[in-house]
Structure formats: structure tokens, C-alpha cells
Amino acid sequence: MSKEWHELTRMTQGKPVTVERVRLVDSDIAIEGSFTLPPLAGLSAEDQVFVMAFVRCHGSIKDMEEMFGISYPTVKNRINRIAKKLEFVEIIAISPQEEVIAELEHGDIDAEEAIRRLSK
């Protein structure tokens, strides 16, 4: 993690941040607008390091215990605390019938194809 990023996360103290200008590295191309940072960027630098370590350990709590010299409950508690800070997208399963109707409404299939699929 870069020194600048650590400083940014320290300054913002977990508060929401909007980026207004992005410049491509090694280029004069800049984009201006209103960009939100990904959810992981809102974590403290320490929590970001913890998440990166967890991913590198392939989710092994035992490896995390060894890496950080902490107990299993401490690893679990920290993971749970970090998870509460992150919003997750709720995935709602739709039935095959609802999928056919959605395709019909979007014009991806015609009425005959919808009837054929729904008749199965």
C-alpha cells in the first residue's frame, strides 16, 4: 500500500470520499467528474492490509492466526467487524418464468419464443 494512500485513508477517517479528477498514469489523459471509491477504499489502512492478507491466505483463519500472531476468535471478530462496514449487493434469484418475461419485455425474444419457453 502506498504512503500516499495510507495518508489519504488517515485523513478521511473512513468518511465517504468523492474523487473529482482521475489521471491515467504515464499519460496526459485526465477525466473529470464525480467518482465514488470502491467500498474497500473506505476501510482504514490497517483493515485494508488485513483484508489483503486474508485474500493472500486464501481465507485460511489458521494462516491469519500465524501471520498476525492472534487467536482464532480475534481473527473472526475482526473479519465480522470489517464485513459490517462493507455493503453487499443482495442477489435475488428469479424463476425461469420471470426470466422469460423479462427477456420478452426487453425485446430479447418475441412472443412466440416466450410462449414456447413458458409451455415447457
pTM above 0.95, yes or no: no
| CB distance 10 to 45 below 8 Å | yes
One domain, residues 18 and 68:
yes
Contact in structure between 97 and 118 (CB atoms under 8 Å): yes
Kindly state whether residues 23 and 72 are assigned to the same domain. Answer: yes
CATH of the domain at 81: 1.10.10
Q: In the structure grid, which three cell numbers stand for residue 92, read together?
A: 435475488
Indicate if 50 and 33 belong to the same structural domain: yes
Question: pLDDT tens track of the chain, all 120 residues?
Answer: 556 666 666 777 767 778 888 888 888 899 998 888 788 888 888 999 999 999 999 999 999 999 999 999 999 999 999 998 887 766 777 888 989 998 999 999 999 999 999 998
